[in-house]
Structure 1
């Protein structure tokens, strides 16, 4: 009955199912942290802000930040994309790779977001990485899949009925 474009579905997923809550204000970053971010992913040292919030990262956690940046790079995000992501959502660098990012990236890839589509999804709505995998992302994607399968089934049944009608008319 309805045919959805992939761009509409991406927009629908992001706006309806994956909206996120805002993060708290983050205080100033140290000079060496800004240098680290500039060197590791090209974040502009002139304005390390995120929607008016200042970046603050603990020097003790540089290895964790390196792990997050390395993980993002290994999944197709390039330095300018990572810099944009970090400047918009600095909390991303405070994510735990094995327990937070990795399972969500794997789920998105299993769902079909592979190649250049995966970074596009993450950059379009980085809050997707903030949502709970089991209680939010999986149920949301299941619902969307059911809707699409139902729509596809209706389209197939409708075409079959039209073909049968066409054969009767001949």
Structure 2
């Protein structure tokens, strides 16, 4: 069903999609620079036709700011020509004054070198003061410095007030914006219809607020795609009142349709039936955002190292969202040590232990035995590598887990 919904609305043949062809645009992850240039966020002079020969002085200055020579040359050729080095230095000094580290100053210049042409006190400082007055650390803008190119009175203030009207508090606005700073680039004449579309499709106000907290990038999704997403989730059996609906909506809107189909095909290639995949998606929608290589690595680990059935893995889809190196393997190392020392039984349900809350796991398996088996602390911290469960050391009761599901 997951694949068929995508396939029904795709003009690109499925074989071409699975071979990596197609295209399409991801509305949530589109390039901020392209968006800026296409929406006229820079002045006409900044967006003018590229100079045939980049200014050597501009290239040299951008390189001194930390940009790679090729990037500096491309920026200078496209839309940046620094005529006042003192002003450029003042912009960087202003950022440091507001708490930007040297790395963040470099990151800001790298992402938006045109800011170096702005009047620091007349254009940039008022915006930094505005965010500071709303409880933001201005350095959050290092992640999306293009925001500083927007008008304070005509865009930034109205946008923040619009978001506050939905989210209800300055704290919630800060949380939402800092998670997805680029969403603050969206014009209100685009954001308002999106919110109205959510209401028309039956999302209550508290759900709309929660959706923006989950990922404010949904404000960038085209209206027709929003309608499709609601239709898709309804066909999958998800109601707007379901716990997983908002997370599922965020995932569907984040993926190009051909990517969605490719990921479904990837899971199917490991023997996952569509019913199990659909159940896993409803439980943990973010499994479709895990990269293909990461999915392959994790599934192979569970099947080949832990000897688990794919059905057991899909019954606990959180396992696909966890980091092998930072979470799963250290916990396996802890359990292996405790079993060899006879502290815990060899027969146990492994996956529930692996996906349990970190505090719960550490209290149950680490601190409880730290005095008798000190190495469990180092294992939990990843300092003792998991070497696998030896023969007869660990009997994984996958059939018991299967029975527990049914």
Structure-2-length-normalised TM-score: 0.28
SS in 1 for 2:94: helix
* Residue in structure 1 matched with residue 103 of structure 2 by the alignment: 80
| Cα deviation 1:8-59 (Å, max 9, x = unaligned) | xxxx9xxxxxx743541553543333333333x3222343034x8364222x
User: Do residues 92 (structure 1) and 115 (structure 2) align?
Assistant: yes
Q: Does the Cα contact within 8 Å between 2:66 and 2:106 map onto a contact in 1? A: yes
SS in 1 for 2:168: helix
Select the structure of larger CA radius of gyration. Answer: 2
* Residue in structure 1 matched with residue 55 of structure 2 by the alignment: 30
* Residue in structure 2 matched with residue 133 of structure 1 by the alignment: 152
Q: Distance in 1 between matches of 2:106 and 2:67?
A: 5
* Residue in structure 1 matched with residue 66 of structure 2 by the alignment: 42
- The runs of 5 or more residues in structure 2 that have no matched partner are 1-27, 29-34, 173-204, 207-406
Q: Distance in 1 between matches of 2:70 and 2:112?
A: 17
Q: Does the Cα contact within 8 Å between 1:104 and 1:129 map onto a contact in 2? A: yes
Question: Which among 53, 61, 67 is matched to residue 78 of structure 2?
Answer: 53
Q: Distance in 2 between matches of 1:112 and 1:84?
A: 22
1:113 Cα deviation after fit: 0.6
Question: Which among 119, 125, 131 is matched to residue 139 of structure 2?
Answer: 119
* Residue in structure 2 matched with residue 69 of structure 1 by the alignment: 92
Measured on the aligned residues, the alpha-carbon RMSD in Å equals: 3.1
- The runs of 5 or more residues in structure 1 that have no matched partner are 1-11, 13-18, 156-170
* Residue in structure 1 matched with residue 133 of structure 2 by the alignment: 110
| Cα deviation 1:136-164 (Å, max 9, x = unaligned) | 111111121222228x9x98xxxxxxxxx
Structure-1-length-normalised TM-score: 0.61
Q: Distance in 1 between matches of 2:112 and 2:139?
A: 15
Q: Distance in 2 between matches of 1:89 and 1:99?
A: 18
- The one of the two structures with greater contact order (alpha-carbon pairs below 8 A, sep at least 6) is 1
* Residue in structure 2 matched with residue 143 of structure 1 by the alignment: 162
- Number of aligned pairs? 129
